[in-house]
Amino acid sequence: MEGTSTGFPREAVATRLLAASVRTSYDPTVDIDWTAPPRPDAYWLPPQRSSLYGTALWEGLSEAQRIELTKHEVASAASAGLWFETILMQMLIRHYYDADPTSRHAQYALTEVADECRHSIMFGRLIEATGCPVYRADRVDHALGRWLKATATGPQMYAAILIAEEILDAFQREIMADESLQPLIRMVSRIHVVEEARHVRFARDELARQVESAGPVTLGYARLVIGRAAYSITRRLVHPQAYAAVGIAPEVGRAAARANPHWQATLRWSAQRIADHLTELGLVAGPGRLLWRRAGLIEG
Ligand SMILES: [Fe+2]
Ligand SMILES: [Fe+2]
């Protein structure tokens, strides 16, 4: 990893991000009131973002069950979030292993790992506070995650980071602005949005550099891995077991969600910014593009 002298754009970006990290960082263990009881009448997600919103199954649920479903959907997304953060931390540490520890770039990579450590603790406490189970990745995705965190470098590493961060970010920006929702999930979202804005800037900047220097074979392989990452992240957002919490058989709930035009629109909405960005960089193409379509993140 090059870029040790200040004045290079890479160092300038990292210097700015390090200063912003000093100005605005949170410690969720003390900055969140974990003892406050949840409001019984408040949703955990805007109801129209529930995977079953607008379906016959949704119509059959009471208001209390709908709130309960959004709580489990949030716990599922938090489980996916911390699973992915664990992968990401290891990828960044591997990146750091080859880096110049005196560079601001390397120091920012470590600062991001520190942020993610606090986020994963925050998501763990969020899951605990909801009383929901940890919704773990299935065996295939768990194995793919292990492979990604042990091997990914270059464009696919930063692209995978961005997909996970930007999809969650879309949901969280909406949640933090919606005063009708549970105070706990709004505060968790606010902390995550503020700190992730820096991660997104860092990864976008690094990705552009990696794409510029990559050859056609590397890029072809990257497109496939990126498509598979997009597919896994999307499929993992709502764990089918979440439906069982409101008396819906997991497979029935999952099939209804996949066929639900509201949910399809929500997925495309959540991925629009990152899909556009990666498309501009030429990273959503070839066979990898099929995976984006199968994940429901893009049309056509
Ligand atoms: Fe995070
Ligand atoms: Fe992050």
One digit per residue, the tens of pLDDT, for the chain of length 300 reads 444 333 458 899 999 999 999 999 999 999 999 999 999 999 999 999 999 999 999 999 999 999 999 999 999 999 999 999 999 999 999 989 999 999 999 999 999 999 999 999 999 999 999 999 999 988 888 888 888 888 877 888 889 889 989 999 999 999 999 999 999 999 999 999 999 999 999 999 999 999 998 888 888 988 998 898 888 888 889 999 999 999 999 999 999 999 999 999 999 999 999 999 999 999 998 888 989 988 888 886
The verdict on pTM exceeding 0.95 is no
What is the pLDDT at residue 161? 87
d(CA 105, ligand 1 centre) in Å: 18
d(CA 60, ligand 2 centre) in Å: 37
* Token digits of residue 95: 């990146």
d(CA 45, ligand 2 centre) in Å: 21
What is the pLDDT at residue 6? 39
d(CA 51, ligand 2 centre) in Å: 24
Measure the N-to-C terminal CA separation of the chain; round to a whole number of Å: 38
Give the angle 229-262-60 at the CA atoms, nearest 5°. Answer: 115
Residue pair 133/74 in contact by the 8 Å Cβ criterion: no
Query: What DSSP designation does 115 have?
Result: H
Shortest CA distance to 115 belongs to which of 123, 127, 104, 125?
123
d(CA 149, ligand 1 centre) in Å: 16
What is the pLDDT at residue 139? 85
**Residue 6, helix vs strand vs coil:** strand
d(CA 68, ligand 2 centre) in Å: 27
Backbone torsions φ then ψ of 268, nearest 5 degrees: -65, -40
What is the pLDDT at residue 150? 83
d(CA 55, ligand 1 centre) in Å: 31
d(CA 255, ligand 2 centre) in Å: 30
Q: Which residues contact 116 (CB under 8 A, 6 or more apart)?
A: 85, 88, 89, 92
